[in-house]
A and B are shown apart, each in its own frame.
Chain A
Amino acid sequence: SQQGEEDPQALSIQEGENATMNCSYKTSINNLQWYRQNSGRGLVHLILIRSNEREKHSGRLRVTLDTSKKSSSLLITASRAADTASYFCADGALWGNEKLTFGTGTRLTIIP
């Protein structure tokens, strides 16, 4: 299956700034999820947005979904050094819906 792509591949910002990561996918989706991975560790679920939703918030996270453009964005506001990690989107296809397809990830570095 085809993987989604995150943009940019790597992002470095100063602590306190906002970080925006984008994700594109190729199929019609049921939902899209964002995960975080600290270096050398497993992934941790951050947020899920369904195909009939356009925006969702969780703490300092804001996710948007544009199904017409097959894209999603993750915004982290007021970044902290502890936000340094890789961030992955994963789309759940509308058909054959038992699997998630993960993107290639954005490596985020927060500079103290």
Chain B
Amino acid sequence: DGGITQSPKYLFRKEGQNVTLSCEQNLNHDAMYWYRQDPGQGLRLIYYSQIVNDFQKGDIAEGYSVSREKKESFPLTVTSAQKNPTAFYLCASSIAGTSTDTQYFGPGTRLTVL
């Protein structure tokens, strides 16, 4: 899983609660990404950031928020506005944020809404 850590590995949330997923990288990469993966499905991009203090919405940003205050950290908050948050969440990073970069993934966080 390279130099990317995600915590926690498993997370349980009650309906109506916000929850924050942690993603940290020590690869000195400029770009970081959050993906959502549903069972038997591919990855869908939630948010990405190519530089500190800047981030862009991906394909399914509604109900999620992010921040990028430090180069090595890109936390994802799943808000109560996300209607179906139960999923596997993957964080990734790449050197410069271009599509030719290799993306390095963390081990993932499995979120379950009770």
Q: Which residues of A contact B (CB under 8 A)?
A: 1, 3, 30-31, 33, 35, 40-45, 48, 50, 88, 90, 92-93, 97-105, 107
Contact, CB under 8 Å: B103 / A45: yes
Known interface pairs A43-B90, A88-B43. Does A98 touch B98 (Cβ–Cβ under 8 Å)? yes
Contact, CB under 8 Å: B99 / A43: no
Known interface pairs A30-B100, A45-B103, A92-B99. Does A99 touch B108 (Cβ–Cβ under 8 Å)? no
Binary interface profile of B, 61-103, with partner A (CB < 8 Å = 1, else 0)?
0000000000000000000000000001010100001111011
Indicate the member of A33, A41, A42, A92 with the most B CB atoms within 10 Å. A42
Cβ-neighbour of A42 out of B45, B50, B58, B108 (below 8 A): B108
Known interface pairs A42-B105, A45-B104. Does A88 touch B98 (Cβ–Cβ under 8 Å)? no
* Sampled A-B contacts (24; CB under 8 Å): A30-B100, A33-B102, A40-B88, A40-B110, A41-B107, A41-B108, A42-B1, A42-B107, A43-B43, A43-B103, A43-B105, A48-B102, A50-B100, A88-B43, A92-B100, A93-B99, A97-B99, A98-B50, A99-B99, A100-B99, A102-B42, A103-B42, A104-B42, A107-B40
List the A side residues contacting B40 at CB < 8 Å. Answer: 105, 107
B residues 1-56 in Cβ contact with A at 8 Å? 1, 4, 31, 35, 40-45, 48, 50
